[in-house]
Structure 1
Amino acid sequence: MTHQTTVLVIGGGGTGVGTARDLAMRGVDVTLVERSGLAGGTTGRSHGLLHSGARYAESDPEGAAECIEENQIIREIAGECIGDSGGIFVQLSEDDPEYFEAKLEGCQEHGIPAEVIDGDEARDRVPELSEDVVRAMVVPDGVIYPSRLVAANAASAENHGATVLTHAPVEGITVSDGAVSSVEIGGEVNETIEADYVINATGAWAGECAALAGVDVEMQPTKGVMVSVDYEGLEPVINRCRVPDDGDIIIPHQTQVVLGTTSVAVDDPDEFDEEQWEVQKMFEECADMMPAIEGRDIDRTWWGVRPLYAPDEAGRGSKDSGKGNERGISRGFFLLDHEQDGVENFASVVGGKLTTYRMMAEATADHVADVLGVEGESTTATEQLPGADDPEELDSLVAKYRARQPTDQDVISDLGEQAADD
């Protein structure tokens, strides 16, 4: 059976569903396919930080500005898809004070609210902090619940006429006369899709998807571990104010905290070793900021794979478990128009951060609209997501799209879990 659509989006993570939503809101006929449940790749296996931009303030002015702008937009449109926790960057006695000052200066320069408090006040606000904290910077970080965010975007896309298909892996792409003529979909869908334009939004798997169309997209995926432990009552996100390194963030959920993360290059985003040293290092490093973390029972452990674009990583000298710029922390996103590769109706979007998913989707939708001659601008920044103010409705959408993933597994209600398993 053949399914006709104007735009086919391959990949059901944040950028994919965001692009489908944006195009559908412009009146474009869109179909999205995802090989598993939505958010099943990097999006749902991230640490779920809603960046204020402070993490990039001293190293990447453009990225910092994008993050604070999108942070504010997501707060307006996403409701219970996020946790408005706030965040702090803590300087321990061994950490470089000049790095703290550089980050503070960057925040002030790029419009990121930042308040400096001494160690005693930091412990008054967050009693769990180490006595070794000498000062802290309070910033508007937050927590993203990606299962809810992706499901709500998918529901909005469908409300505007899009088709969203889960458990629909791409098994082949046919290119004829310099354009994608058809895409073979397997799994529960098992049909051929013919589209005027195809977007590859498969993240770390973008190289594999592009190869099906005879296009080379060189990715350099890196794995990172997250560890969730029972720990009730922590309010802000805790960041270590040092050059980026393993185990420098603690993210609060309702009754748990998430410890993260490592950065180790892998050859295959589906096949890599899940190593115990990574888990142990999260406890060791995070306990320097919050000693009570040490010895806590692990509720769940998961690894995510970052969708890094190899040419960009080569330019910044990234490497396994690197620090600072070697870790490639200040990454942008890349929209690759494959017309220059001989496939005129095919593009890939790679890189970026979950916080800027909507901005990436808007840029991608702008490109497609320009190619197709579609008029109208993006309105995704001003229209609230479906169910945003109702956690139960959001969790029912998570179940509908089989989007319950490890990052926020403890937050999604049992109702959503049961429906997703049925």
Structure 2
Amino acid sequence: MKKLETDVVVIGGGSTGAGVVRDVAMRGYRTILVDRADLGQGTTGRYHGLLHSGGRYVVSDPHSATECAEENDIIERIHADAVETTGGLFVVGPDDPLDFADDWLKGAQATGVPHEEITIAEALRREPRLNPKSKRAFAVKDGTVDGWQMVWGAARSAEEYGAQILTYHEVTDIMRDGEKVLGIRATDHKTGEEIQIDCSFVINAGGPWAGQIAGMAECPDVDVVPGRGIMIAMNHRLVNQVVNRCIYPADGDILVPVHTVCIIGTTDVKVDDPDKLAIPRNEVQQMLDSGEVLVPGFRQARAIHSWSGARPLVKDSRVDLTDTRHMSRGMSIINHESRDGLSGLLTIAGGKLTTYRLMAKNIVDIMVEQLGDDRPCRTETEAVPGSKDQKNYHVTHRLDEAEKKLQKEQIVCECELMTRSQLEELIEEQPMASFDDLRRQLRLGMGPCQGGFCSIRAAGIMQESGKADVERVTELLRRFLKNRWIGLWPILYGDQVRQTALDNWIFQGTLDMDHLPEAEEAHV
């Protein structure tokens, strides 16, 4: 068994875990992050891309609203390259109750959420596709954020301070000696190797899986309730600002422009297993209907992908557990020393991606106090690598870059303007990456063809690089297409049916993917 030794192990590679490992490393502790999959593959990579202004929660969860408002500016600054400062609108639709708008206005004033009421004419000037029958409109500081880019930015910042990031390492045991944590054991899914990491502190940031992880340390009753929500990406930006319905939070009440698409979301249904998240067709239809309320003609646009994520909601005895929509979005930190008599273990769950840095600060503050140290948080003031020039993301940035070297650089993915050099550099940096790992960092296959053309090119480039043989590349491509299909099946209608049929003819007819040689499981 491979053995490592460090001060702090962070379990979970979503936004919270990445924020924690960065904070811990910046305070001078040796630290290692482990995740059973890739960074941002859980809840963080399965949301609608919203950087909250706080407006959504001014009535339903005022404390969360204030936290979002305060963290919004910080995230925009320290993760500039991952954030697009779109702005946002809260709009009273033609059939929405007018009295809620008055409550919303009072809530925004009370929680410190920046806002301005504008005329419907001005709202339509900003967003011409907006429902012209809308009755009131408020402008807010909503933005959009690429969750994967944000997580990788935090991880690379942590690495600059000496942290190790171990993806595809699944924790199998939290070791303890009586009332003290000794470390963790994990399995490397890429090699099959077992690993033991000795440490004096473990921070459990496992999101919807946090309860299962705490159970490994014999700390039961960590009740994290997965709240499943589906989202649908449309093939272009029907709006350029975030558009919210000014109603009590409900299903399908937000449309978010992210990169070259826009995303409608979301439902909220309690599930038992965060690894089994359905995309029911009736909920897909519900999202499309909801889009029509915000933008008439929404259904005529082309839906290109659907997905489902699990919110890590912390059980509240005051709330009916069949109704996750009304469970608090606030963060919850469990001190296992005071609750279970086990020192060296803390668990964090709940919260929002927008408040990830604050969540990390709060739990690391508790750890530092328990260790008897005085090491203040500095994450608010220092930008992550790639954001130090303070330039925010803009949707045309890849086009600007491509036009400068159009005759010299091969475009691998026309939809997302991903270049060959970008792909080759990432393959060189991460030779064991799957195509889905590449997708999360480069947006491979996230346009209208859903990988129909670019995935074949990427397969050829990976094989040419010498980082994988033909059998492994074939298996990586097969898995990538299978995963893309999961999000295509529930939304097949209109133009996307023709696109998917074309892709199927290419892969099953021309390439005969199902009958090509397979790689050994351990090497994929």
- Fold shared by both chains (TM-score > 0.5): yes
User: Are 1:211 and 2:191 matched, yes or no?
Assistant: no
Distance change in 2, residues 1:91/1:408 (3 Å) = farther
2:354 counterpart residue number: 355
Match of 2:320 among 317, 321, 328: 317
Q: CA deviation at 1:274?
A: 2.3
CA contact (8 A) 2:22 2:155 kept: yes
Provide the rounded CA distance (Å) in 1 between the counterparts of 2:326 and 2:306: 24
Structure 2 CA distance for aligned equivalents of residues 315 and 197 of structure 1 = 32
Counterpart in 2 of 1:130?
A: 131
For residue 232 of structure 2, what is the aligned residue in structure 1? 227
- Structure 2 counterpart of 1:341, one-letter code: D
The residue identity in structure 1 corresponding to 2:198 is E
Between the aligned partners of 1:329 and 1:250, the Cα distance in structure 2 is 22
Distance 1:407 1:210, change over 3 A: farther
Task: Call closer, same or farther: CA 1:394–1:345 in 2, change over 3 Å.
Answer: farther
CA shift at 1:120, angstroms? Answer: 2.4
Shift of 1:60: 2.5
State the match for 2:178 in structure 1.
177
Aligned partner of 1:343 in structure 2 is 342
Which residue number corresponds to residue 162 of structure 2?
161
Deviation at 1:303, TM superposition (A): 0.4
**What SS does structure 1 have at the residue aligned with 2:168?**
coil
SS of 2:363's equivalent in the other structure is: helix
* SS, match of residue 193 in structure 1: strand
The one-letter amino acid of 1:372's match is L
Identify the match of residue 268 of structure 2 among 239, 249, 263: 263
Give the aligned CA root-mean-square deviation in angstroms.
2.7
1:47 positional shift: 1.2
Which residue is equivalent to 1:46? 47
AA aligned opposite 1:328:
H
- TM-score norm. by structure 1 comes to 0.91
Farther off after superposition, 333-342 or 199-208: 333-342
Cα pair distance change 1:356/1:208, threshold 3 Å: same
Give matches, 1:297-316, under 5 Å. Answer: 297-310=302-315, 312=316, 314-316=317-319
| Contact in 2 for aligned 1:100/1:241 (Cα 8 Å) | yes
Matches within 5 A, 1:5-404: 5-187=6-188, 188=190, 190-216=194-220, 217-232=222-237, 234-310=239-315, 312=316, 314-317=317-320, 319-320=322-323, 327-328=325-326, 330-339=328-337, 340-388=339-387, 389=389, 402=437, 404=439
Shift in Å, 1:138: 0.5
In structure 2, relative to structure 1, the CA distance for the partners of 1:39 and 1:418 (3 Å cut) is farther
Q: Do the aligned partners of 2:69 and 2:114 also contact (CA within 8 Å) in 1?
A: no
- Residue pair 2:149, 2:441 contacting (<8 A) in 1 also: no
Count, aligned residues = 412
Given that 1:145 and 1:408 are in contact with CA atoms closer than 8 Å, whether structure 2 keeps it comes out as no
- The one-letter code sitting in structure 2 at the alignment partner of 1:232 is R
**Paired amino acid for 2:219:** V
1:357 partner amino acid: Y
What secondary structure sits across from 1:32 in the alignment? strand
| Cα distance between partner residues in 2 of 1:210 and 1:233 | 43
Residue 131 of structure 1 and its aligned partner are, at CA, apart by 2.1
Q: Which runs of 5+ in 2 are unaligned?
A: 399-420, 448-453, 468-524
1:64 and 1:25 map into 2 onto residues whose CA distance is 28
How big is the shift at 1:407?
A: 12
1:11 deviates by 0.2
Distance 1:47 1:112 in 2: 21
Tell me the secondary structure at the aligned position of residue 368 of structure 1: helix
Higher relative contact order (CA 8 A, sep 6+): 1
Give 1:330 shift: 4.2
Q: Contact 1:155/1:397 (CA < 8 Å) preserved in 2?
A: no
The change in CA–CA distance for 1:404 and 1:371 in structure 2 (over 3 A counts) is farther
Contact persistence 1:49–1:142 (CA under 8 A): yes
- Quote the residue 2:496 is aligned against: none
Q: What is the TM-score normalised by the length of structure 2?
A: 0.74
Displacement after TM superposition at 1:343 (Å): 1.8
Q: Secondary structure at the match of 2:162?
A: coil
In structure 2, the residue corresponding to 1:378 is in which secondary structure?
coil
CA displacement, residues 206-258 of structure 1 (integer Å, 9 cap, x when unaligned)? 11111111111112111100100112362110101111111100000232100
**Displacement after TM superposition at 1:58 (Å):** 2.0
Q: Which string of whole-angstrom CA distances, capped at 9 and with x for unpartnered residues, describes residues 168-218 of structure 1?
A: 111122222122223111023631011100011000001111111111111
The amino acid across from 1:136 in the alignment is A
